[in-house]
Structure 1
Amino acid sequence: MWMGIDLGTQSVRAVVAADRGDVLGSGSAPLAGRREGVRHEQDPEQWWRAVCAAAREALSEAGPGAGPRALAVCSTSGTVLLADRAGRPLGPALMYDDGRAPSRGPGKALLLLKEHGAGRDVRVLHQADLILARLAGRILPTDSSHALKTGYDPERESYDDSALSLPKGVLPEVVRPGAKVGEVCRAAAEETGVPAGTLIVAGMTDGCAAQIASGSLAVGSWNSVLGTTLVLKGVTAAPLRDPTGVVYNHRAPDGSWLPGGASGVGGGALRAAFPDADPARLDALAHGFDPAGPVAYPLGAQGERFPFLAPDATGFLLGAPASPAEHWAALLQGVGLAERLCLDYLDLLGAPLHGPLTFTGGAVRSDYWTQLRADVLGRSVRIPRYSEPALGMAVLAAYGAGAAPTLAEAAERMVRLRHVVRPRRSERFAEPYLTMVGELERRGWLPEPVAAHARARTDTTKGTP
């Protein structure tokens, strides 16, 4: 058995998976944060309490005597905190979308050092690092995937010049994902139910974890993870060069590259517009608006990171919805339109897009939204049976423990496909797509070359590239 733990924005999930990918047990626990304007913080102590609850639930569901041979942990990319030498938090964590500092580089760490680290012997930890420290009873090396946002260069396999502005010894040692880094200690075993001595394998960020869970590990394949936000990741033989820094490259355990980006569009915008919504009921009503008349760019918070960089960007809705159902339909459609622009931007950078596209994330629970996104993109998409990032970490744990010679082979054995969704009449979405692209360009957020490429790839008679 293998365990994967996923620290998301709103919850922690844990799974126990068999060697052939069957999920034997799963557990979850909610998380809450504090948002004030651009500020977004969470209490790191609640992460650990949630991990303990989720792990115990997953092990209980797996049955008496269930114990994983190894585990790995993923978390949100760019979430950091300060801890003392023993790994105890010294204050709140800055979440990945906290707008007081840049999403990449040492900015968040510098802000934390100023607020909570003056005169202290401190360590900068990523979200998953704290959980690994609690599991092992000591601070362990971080992985290159989480370290990417704090100035780690995966090509040189060392911190870049931007990280030199931090005090020496503050940043953690870095290893590749899948490396063996420690074992679960007795104190953590008592709290989590995970047996003492269980191998701890270096993890990856949540977007990479979802990519592993999707089985998208061949060059040219892509995984779109849609939950609170949208993360799109693919596989290339070499790093994908982007002079704007919008697309970044993670390094896979086998040395291939996982380029991608994270957009602010997604379920967060739906919850903001419809805080008490019944999604299933609104999905059923939204069928009558196909396509929706109003055109939305549904950002959950200020600022956009992919497919363009615009810290001042805000969500918008062009046109007045005739009803709440049409408003809902416009937001769902808007996410699909933004997703399409992401793929067009990747094509502009020269990314291979010929492989299969897989959808994962919480949004795949909506059959209507999944079909709508396939229609907007104009291409078939695969839906795995289990699409949780936690399963991706179970696959990585199996690889790290030596159960398969490559990560791709571990995923091939453990990832199961549920079905394939094929597009219908995608030409319907050419006009709203071009309207959205034009509005983004008019507002000065989308660079002209990107907008021109999106228009060139749009066949107005078929609606697809």
Structure 2
Amino acid sequence: MSGDLALGVDVGTSGARAALIGRDGATVAEARAAMTEAGDDRRAPAVWEGAVALALARLGAIADLGRVGALAVDATSGTVLALDAGGAPVGAALMYDDAVDDPAIPARIAQLAPRESAAHGTASALARALVLARRAGVARIAHQADWIADLFSGPGGPSDESNALKTGYDPVARRWPDWLAALPFDPALLPQVIAAGAPRGVVSAQAARRFGLPQGAAVVAGVTDGCASFLATGAGAPGDGVSALGTTLTLKLLSDKPVFAPEYGIYSHRIGAMWLAGGASNTGGGVIAAHFPPERLAALSARIDPAQDSGLDYYPLLKPGERFPVSDPALPPRLAPRPEDESRFLHGVLEGIARIEAQGYARLAELGAPRLKTLRSVGGGAANPVWTAMRARIMGVATAPAQSESAAAGVARLALPHLARV
């Protein structure tokens, strides 16, 4: 059936993914291309473009792209590039992890920006935008997701409220703030900003020929890669939380109001009428990996009763320092006493991380977000059923399976409302 699928395009650090989802949100097909297949320079927009084209070609080989009715794009948060009047890149992009060498730039931003702004620091997207604005021939500053979306709908398209956050956009007032005019650049270089999921154009004739997509299919504003990963899980109501159990522990909670607490590293992305608040702890899988060989985790976990306390009071960290749910740069790891029984030691570590997770959601609620109601988990730790049961007990909430962990599938959800009705 023509126009009954939504397409999501995710541009990450290592590659590009493209996913098709149906009206029910289920993934129909997905394909990937590594950045290195398109080139060696991760800062070259042509390499991003090549990876996207490869991913779409592979997707088209296993699914009918002619069924796409709408699409959306996500990309790395904080990656920006300079464009000329025709929408072509002016030099290499500055990536999300590129720090600004000129200390005067973040210092000036610090003088002007409100405390709760996400534009502070040497690695802020706004600081990088000021560096890019110095290049000759620059007519516009764009975020990575903006430029990728322009490949489908044509140059000069708007940005979205999620990607614009770290560039200084005020998501509460829903505009670029007046203090930007006091910075050493022209704020007119910044793009128009629209809500995530709002229409930003349609697939052009040129893009239809190149990518095999239907001309005129809707192109809607996307989000950052982190927000897209949240959407992929199926979370969609206030109080829905998603914990990413990777090397570190990242919590995200859907809220009906914004939460900003820079002392804890907490900011809120606006996604339509909702807000996505989150924070990251230094605890997580990195601590587990430092103490337990991965091949032994399953056997050790099987000996743990998740309904019982370990009797240990741990705060698992690799080194001193924590930002969320407590802000203490000198907070020491607490992993003593260490029992001789390795299974009990693992019990204490997993329990300690779960308590930090519970404290994190409690901190978000204390700052104005709703209380955690349902919990979804992604990342390597989500595959441990003993830990999942332990975490559910400690937090006292229902757990739900993540529908997907694919950011491409997540951003495609923003396009679903724009599919033609049948």
* Fold similarity call, TM over 0.5: yes
Report which structure shows greater RCO (CA 8 Å, sep ≥6): 2
Equivalence for 1:235: 254
1:18 aligned residue: 22
Residues 270, 135 of structure 1: CA spacing in aligned structure 2 closer, same or farther, 3 A cutoff?
farther
3-state SS of paired residue (1:131): helix
CA contact (8 A) 2:129 2:167 kept: no
- Match of 1:202, as an amino acid? A
Q: How many residues in Structure 1 have an aligned counterpart in Structure 2?
A: 387
Tell me by how many angstroms 1:114 deviates.
Answer: 3.1
Query: Which amino acid in the other structure matches residue 82 of structure 2?
Result: L
Residues 376 and 313 of structure 1, relative CA distance in 2, 3 Å threshold = farther
Per-residue CA distance 1:433-452 (angstroms, 9 max, x = gap): xxxxxxxxxxxxxxxxxxxx
Matched, 1:138 2:160: no
Q: What are the superposed Cα offsets for residues 165-215 of structure 1, whole Å, 9 maximum, x if unpaired?
A: 242322111011111112233444455443443321101223332333333
The 1:238/1:267 distance shift into structure 2, 3 A limit, reads closer
Q: Which moved more, 1:236-245 or 1:321-330?
A: 321-330
| Cα pair distance change 1:283/1:345, threshold 3 Å | same
Tell me the residue number matched to 2:92.
91
1:129 matched to 2:133? The reply is: no
Q: Determine whether 1:59 maps to 2:77.
A: no
Contact 1:223–1:232 at 8 Å: present in 2 too? yes
Separation in 1, partners of 2:375, 2:96: 29
Q: 1:248 aligns with which of 267, 270, 285?
A: 267
**Structure 2 match to 1:283:** 297
> Are 1:155 and 2:175 an aligned pair?
no
Partner of 2:193: 174
Q: After superposition, what is the alpha-carbon deviation per residue over 1:232-265, rounded to whole angstroms, capped at 9, x for unaligned?
A: 3333333335474733233332x2x314124264
Paired residue type of 2:26: D
> How far does residue 268 in structure 1 lie from its aligned partner after superposition?
8.2
Q: Note closer, same or farther for the CA distance 1:354–1:268 as it changes in structure 2 (3 Å cut).
A: closer
Pair 357,272 (structure 1): closer, same or farther in 2 beyond 3 Å: closer
Tell me which residue corresponds to 2:307.
none
Unaligned stretches of 5+ residues in structure 1: 33-40, 405-465
Conserved in 2, the CA contact under 8 Å of 1:83 and 1:124?
Answer: yes
Aligned twin of 1:393: 411
When residues 304 and 195 of structure 1 are mapped into structure 2, their CA distance, relative to the original with a 3 A threshold, is farther
Report the alpha carbon displacement of residue 142 of structure 1 after superposing the two structures with TM.
Answer: 0.5
**Equivalent pair of 1:4/1:390 in contact (CA under 8 Å):** yes
Question: 2-side partners of 1:314 and 1:99: how far apart?
Answer: 29
Deviation at 1:306, TM superposition (A): 4.1
Normalising by structure 2, report the TM-score: 0.74
| Counterpart-to-counterpart distance in 1, 2:22 and 2:175 | 35
Q: Give the Cα–Cα distance (whole angstroms) in 1 for the partners of residues 48 and 345 of structure 2.
A: 35
Does the 8 A contact of 1:229 with 1:268 survive in 2? yes
Give 1:302-341 correspondences, 5 Å limit: 306-307=324-325, 318=335, 336-341=354-359
Aligned partner of 1:194 in structure 2 is 213
Give the TM-score taking structure 1 as reference length.
0.68
Q: Equivalents in 1 of 2:296, 2:371: separation in Å?
A: 33
SS at match of 1:204: strand
Structure 1 CA distance for aligned equivalents of residues 396 and 119 of structure 2: 36
Q: Alignment partner for residue 105 of structure 1, among 119, 122, 128?
A: 119
Q: Matched residues, percent identical?
A: 31
Change (3 A) 1:92 1:348: same
Residue identity opposite 1:78 in structure 2: G
| 2:372 pairs with 1:357 | no
Q: Of 7, 10, 19, which residue of structure 2 is paired with 1:6?
A: 10
The 10-residue stretch of structure 1 (390-399 or 87-96) with the greater mean CA deviation from structure 2: 87-96
CA distance in 2, matches of 1:264, 1:45: 35
Superposed displacement of residue 143, structure 1 = 0.7
How much does 1:147 deviate?
0.9
Change (3 A) 1:163 1:333: farther
